[in-house]
């Protein structure tokens, strides 16, 4: 046999063997996927460097990534977070399905590296926000790209919105909220979000904003509407709505892959949802303050039934933590009753007070007050006690009068913002606090230790707020005078601008 023929036969044999190995490998891949023996899937649309390392290094990728992971752990122990971030980036390129690295790297960026930077000017933290945003984008844009069904990544992404941005975790927390509201203003404008126009965009502007939502923020407006109908209405310019979205999407992916999901992972996703819904109830409404050119937070009272349902569902599904969940549920109901009363939604407040009394008849409404069972307090007494801090003993004349004045100030400021229901609620609560104090005083001592007449306190607050020298800003005074039927100031300042607000402030 000639050398040329021998070489040809060897090449043909190699081709046959490679083809056979390919067929066997396909069968093995199907069996592995069916039996859940591997989580590695072919990478689609991967960057060139990732595609190269995945194919060229083969099985050695695991050995290299293990060595890098051990070094990254040492760097974390030494608080060398910047060096650790670089190593973690290499590991994700070597092993894109190594979920723990995505989680640790994102946490490192958002929590450890971000706090290394100080404010650039009073209240401004652009460098911190850059690292927090980088952690979000790493999970959302890359982690889920290569691990679209991994519940832990959904949970971590939702947690970043709930905890890092939503909570008042550090001195930059308000700046984070402001930056995220500005980001979402690009999608929704500076109005209440309209999901329908993003689902079926008609104008060029709507199409561009829908594209931005899908391509940049990786969010589906159809699924957003489902989430809003089930858990809302939500304010999509605030981080809590996004925490709920990503947690709900994680639950949806889990339903599509039930054999690869741990029950504890589902519990953590549900926990993010009801905790974020509580935050949405407490401060999930943006109120435009044209006088400060800012947004202010207010409670979202419309989602009280959904928050209540989420707590009760969580208590049924998480038996191990049932007592803790029910304790949080009771605290939520106490707040719901008070907020509804404060915002002059008295019928709803009465209905939820009855609900609270029925479900927790043997639990104190006021901490430390053993006689504050629902059977012993009326709705009005409970609301007044929440303000005074004490329903049975005198809080002192000066302190009580200060509470009444504070409630009246809140009432007039709400009136200036066009928040008529809260304005009426604060005023009603001020009247109840005044009456509760007066009713506890002996009649023979009212002239000595009683409060001034309510009308006198009210007039003093109004006069102080409308004072051109020491009162509210000129724009607020002008609106209040119009609302109260007062004549305008003789030298009234120019009207407030209608430019969209750029800042977010706490309320």
pLDDT tens per residue, range 13-36: 777 776 666 666 566 556 655 554
pLDDT on residue 500: 39
Which of the two residues, 358 and 286, has the higher pLDDT score?
A: 358
Average pLDDT over residues 202-208: 93
Residue 324 domain flag: yes
pLDDT on residue 390: 45
Q: List, in order, residues 6 or more apart from 291 with CB less than 8 Å away.
A: 416, 473, 475, 476, 496
Residue 17 domain flag: no
> Both 237 and 104 in a single domain?
no
Per-residue pLDDT tens digits for 309-324: 999 988 888 888 889 9
Lowest mean pLDDT among 84-88, 118-122, 251-255, 426-430: 84-88
> Both 90 and 218 in a single domain?
no
pLDDT on residue 470: 75
pLDDT on residue 82: 60
Which of the two residues, 408 and 294, has the higher pLDDT score?
A: 408
Q: How far apart are CA 494 and CA 470, in angstroms?
A: 18
pLDDT on residue 97: 79
Q: How far apart are CA 331 and CA 324, in angstroms?
A: 11
pLDDT on residue 480: 85
Residue 2 domain flag: no
> Both 104 and 249 in a single domain?
no
Give, for 11, the enclosing helix (H) or strand (E): helix 3-35
Per-residue pLDDT tens digits for 66-112: 555 566 565 566 565 566 666 666 666 667 777 888 898 888 888 98
| Whether the predicted pLDDT of 303 surpasses 60 | yes
Lowest mean pLDDT among 216-220, 326-330, 450-454: 450-454
pLDDT on residue 251: 92
Average pLDDT over residues 159-167: 93
Residue 347 domain flag: yes
- DSSP readout, 293-360? TEEEEE--GGGHHHHHHHHHHHHHH-GGGHHHHHHHHHHHHHHHHHHHHHTT-HHHHHHHHHHHHHH-
pLDDT on residue 243: 96
Q: How confident is the model at residue 471 (pLDDT cuts 50, 70, 90)?
A: confident
pLDDT on residue 245: 96
Which of the two residues, 2 and 199, has the higher pLDDT score?
A: 199
Residue 25 domain flag: no
Taking each helix axis from N to C terminus, what angle separates 221-231 and 304-317, rounded to the nearest 10 degrees? 90
Token code pair at residue 315? 């208590």
Residue 183 domain flag: yes
> Both 198 and 296 in a single domain?
yes
> Both 247 and 374 in a single domain?
no
> Both 184 and 215 in a single domain?
yes
- Range of 489's domain? 394-502
- Does the predicted TM-score (pTM) go above 0.85? no
**Arithmetic mean of pLDDT over the chain:** 80
pLDDT on residue 24: 63
Q: Tell which of 303, 334, 350 closes a domain.
A: 303
| Whether the predicted pLDDT of 502 surpasses 70 | no
| Whether the predicted pLDDT of 239 surpasses 90 | yes
Residues in the chain: 507
> Both 323 and 399 in a single domain?
no
> Both 97 and 214 in a single domain?
no
| Whether the predicted pLDDT of 214 surpasses 90 | yes
Average pLDDT over residues 285-293: 65
pLDDT on residue 219: 95
Which of the two residues, 211 and 78, has the higher pLDDT score?
A: 211
**Do 456 and 450 form a contact (C-beta atoms < 8 A)?**
no
Is 173 exposed, middle or buried, given 0-12, 13-18 or 19+ CB atoms closer than 10 A?
middle
> Both 457 and 336 in a single domain?
no
Closest CA to 372 of 315, 326, 334, 332: 334
pLDDT on residue 331: 93
| Whether the predicted pLDDT of 493 surpasses 60 | no
The total number of structural domains in the chain stands at: 4
| Whether the predicted pLDDT of 63 surpasses 90 | no
pLDDT on residue 22: 61
Residue 298 domain flag: yes
Q: Where are the beta strands (DSSP E) in 26-67?
A: none
Lowest mean pLDDT among 158-167, 215-224, 402-411, 446-455: 446-455
Q: Tell which of 84, 119, 147 closes a domain.
A: 147
Which of the two residues, 294 and 263, has the higher pLDDT score?
A: 263
Q: How far apart are CA 239 and CA 154, in angstroms?
A: 15
> Both 229 and 198 in a single domain?
yes
Token code pair at residue 376? 């012993």
Lowest mean pLDDT among 82-86, 123-127, 147-151: 82-86
Q: Tell which of 303, 333, 350 closes a domain.
A: 303
> Both 362 and 235 in a single domain?
no
Closest CA to 105 of 83, 117, 89: 89
Residue 24 domain flag: no
pLDDT on residue 305: 94
**Do 240 and 284 form a contact (C-beta atoms < 8 A)?**
yes
Q: How far apart are CA 84 and CA 108, in angstroms?
A: 8
294-298 and 285-289 strand pairing? antiparallel
Q: List, in order, residues 6 or more apart from 161 with CB less than 8 Å away.
A: 136, 239, 240, 242, 243, 246, 276
| Whether the predicted pLDDT of 258 surpasses 80 | no
| Whether the predicted pLDDT of 259 surpasses 60 | yes
> Both 354 and 406 in a single domain?
no
- DSSP readout, 362-388? TS-SSTT-TT--GGG--HHHHHHHHHH
pLDDT on residue 498: 38
């Amino acid at each position: 046999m000639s050398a040329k023929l021998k070489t040809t036969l060897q090449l043909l044999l190699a081709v046959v063997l490679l083809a056979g190995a390919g067929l066997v490998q396909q069968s093995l891949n199907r069996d592995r996927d069916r039996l859940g023996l591997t989580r590695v899937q072919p990478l689609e649309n991967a960057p060139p460097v990732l595609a190269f390392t995945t194919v060229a290094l083969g099985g050695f990728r695991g050995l290299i990534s293990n060595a890098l992971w051990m070094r990254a752990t040492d760097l974390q122990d030494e608080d060398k977070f910047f060096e650790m971030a670089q190593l973690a980036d290499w590991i994700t390129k070597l092993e894109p399905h190594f979920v723990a690295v995505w989680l640790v790297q994102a946490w490192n960026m958002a929590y450890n590296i971000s706090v290394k930077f100080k404010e650039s000017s009073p209240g401004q933290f652009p460098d911190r926000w850059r690292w927090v945003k980088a952690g979000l984008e790493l999970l959302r844009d890359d982690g889920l790209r290569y691990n679209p069904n991994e519940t832990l990544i959904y949970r971590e992404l939702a947690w970043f919105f709930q905890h890092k941005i939503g909570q008042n975790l550090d001195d930059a927390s308000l700046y984070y909220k402001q930056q995220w509201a500005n980001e979402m203003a690009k999608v929704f404008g500076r109005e209440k979000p309209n999901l329908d126009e993003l689902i079926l965009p008609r104008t060029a502007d709507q199409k561009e904003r829908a594209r931005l939502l899908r391509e940049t923020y990786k969010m589906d407006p159809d699924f957003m509407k489902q989430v809003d109908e089930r858990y809302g209405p939500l304010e999509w310019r605030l981080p809590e709505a996004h925490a709920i979205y990503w947690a709900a999407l994680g639950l949806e992916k889990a339903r599509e892959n039930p054999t690869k999901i741990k029950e504890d992972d589902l519990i953590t996703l549900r926990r993010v949802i009801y905790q974020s819904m509580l935050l949405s109830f407490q401060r999930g409404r943006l109120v435009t303050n044209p006088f400060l050119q800012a947004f202010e937070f207010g409670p979202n009272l419309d989602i009280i039934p959904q928050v209540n349902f989420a707590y009760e569902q969580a208590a049924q599904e998480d038996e191990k933590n049932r007592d803790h969940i029910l304790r949080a549920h009771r605290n939520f109901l106490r707040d719901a009753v008070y907020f509804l009363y404060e915002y002059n939604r008295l019928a709803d407040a009465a209905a939820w007070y009855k609900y609270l009394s029925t479900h927790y008849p043997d639990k104190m409404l006021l901490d430390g007050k053993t006689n504050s069972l629902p059977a012993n307090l009326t709705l009005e007494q409970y609301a007044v006690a929440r303000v005074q801090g004490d329903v049975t003993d005198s809080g002192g004349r000066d302190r009580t009068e200060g509470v009444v004045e504070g409630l009246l100030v809140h009432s007039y400021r709400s009136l200036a913002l066009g928040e008529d229901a809260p304005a009426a609620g604060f005023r009603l609560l001020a009247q109840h606090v005044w009456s509760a104090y007066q009713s506890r005083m002996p009649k023979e001592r009212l002239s000595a230790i009683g409060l001034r007449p309510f009308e006198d306190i009210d007039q003093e607050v109004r006069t102080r707020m409308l004072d051109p020298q020491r009162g509210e800003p000129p724009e607020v005074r002008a609106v209040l005078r119009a609302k109260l039927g007062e004549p305008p100031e003789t030298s009234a300042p120019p009207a407030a601008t209608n430019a969209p607000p750029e800042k977010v402030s706490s309320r």
